[in-house]
Amino acid sequence: MAKRKVFQISDTLADGLEETLSSAKNYSGELRVDVIPLKKIETDPENPRDLALTIDDIYNKVAPSDPDYVRKLQEINSLESIANSIKDQGIINPIVVYKHGDKYRLVAGERRTLASILAGKMDIQAKILDSKPNELKISLLQWIENIERSDLSLYERLKNLEKIARAYALSKNIGVEQITITELSQLIGCVKSHALNYRAVLNADAQIKALIFANKIKNLEKAALLSGIQSTVAREHVISACLAGATLKKLKTMVEQSKSTPSLRLPRPSLKQGRQASSVNLGSTKNRDVAKIIIDSVLKNQALAHLRDQFQQVDWSDYKTVSETFNLLLRRLEELHV
């Protein structure tokens, strides 16, 4: 019997067909990528902007009478290098816009848009959304766009993150501080350890946020570490070290040490219930030298000379030891003055 002929579509061709169909199915409507005229792009007046420079400024040149003249020229300068690479190679990632009348409004890619105009381009590649995305979606898109930028400051990331968190919390009807690490890591697409840091910074108090916004704290891990310190004193201490340029490792060590130090508590207003005070609070200090001075001075008293031996080998650099030493002195003095 003659052998039956076998025919087969090549895998390459079948794979190609399959990939084409699945990508068209998955992205149609979601992801319209098209080339649109730059002239039709406008910024969204409802979105806060970082740049003073406007699209009009690039088309019509900045007038010297402009109150932001110097700042705008600086911004143009900073766009020159992107503009040059756009001249050579165009943009790599499309910008994101949504349709607004016969114009397109920017969601992400303001710098790329301005630089493309600067480069003398007429059109730009854009992902086109059908309508204005909600606050959460916009802030997430901006996050994704921005995260690829290496020069993005902690300040810019935090600002972006605050928008995401607010929008997300609103959509879930919860407070920003109730957002879990898992939720945050899924929202912005990062590992949990990273999300942990972001959440710490997100929930940091006004003082730390102010330092980040003033661009004085630039490192996420450091900022997260600082936000986690409970004791006010220790915190002041670590913050000033951080501002002085201490490394993350050094700061971590400081935080560890501070945990073993009795912290100064702010006097809490309380209702007096008529109970007589029965002890004297000798106070507390974060200056170990002061403790040493007090102890040394007391021991100089000839009447106490016999106690000096007990205070010989003290590690004056360790808060815990110093505290214990001071307590020991108090107990000995009490024994002498019953």
Partner 1 sequence: MARIIVNATHKGGEGKTTNSIMLAEYAALVRGLKTLIIDMDPQANLSGRYIKMEYDPAYKGGKIPALHPDYEPEIDEDWDGRSSIANIFYGEEVIPYPTSINNLELLPAHSIKLQDAEAVTKNEVVEKVHLQLKRFLELPDVQKNYEIIIIDTPPSKGPLTIAAIKAATHVVIPAQMEQFSIEGIFGMLQLWKQETYSRSKDNPITLVGILPNQVRDINLHKSFREDLSKRKEIAGYLMPHTIKKRAIYTEILVENANPKCIFELSKKDVARNEYERACDYIMERVLHHG
Contact residues toward partner 1 (CB under 8 A) are 4-9, 13-14, 16-25, 27-29, 31-34, 128, 130
Are 166 and 176 within 8 A, CB to CB? yes
CB closer to partner 1, 21 vs 92: 21
User: Which tokens in the block code for residue 195?
Assistant: 């999300």
* Smallest distance from partner 1 to CB 27, Å: 7
- For partner 1, the closer of residues 18 and 80 by Cβ is 18
Q: How far is Cα 22 from Cα 45, in angstroms, rounded to an integer?
A: 37
Least distance from partner 1 to the Cβ atom of residue 117, Å: 20
**Shortest spacing between CB 125 and partner 1, in angstroms:** 11
d(CA 294, CA 300): 10
Closest approach of Cβ 141 to partner 1, in Å? 17
Q: Give which of 147, 133, 146, 158 is closest to 212, Cα–Cα.
A: 158
Residue 26 C-beta: closest distance to partner 1, Å = 10
Neighbour-count burial of 106, counting CB atoms closer than 10 A to its CB (0-12 exposed, 13-18 middle, 19+ buried): buried
Q: How far apart are CA 165 and CA 105, in angstroms?
A: 23
Nearer to partner 1, 11 or 88 (CB): 11
Q: Which is nearer to partner 1, 92 or 243 (CB)?
A: 92
CA–CA dist 280, 299 (Å, integer): 21
Give the nearer residue to partner 1 in terms of CB position, either 25 or 268: 25
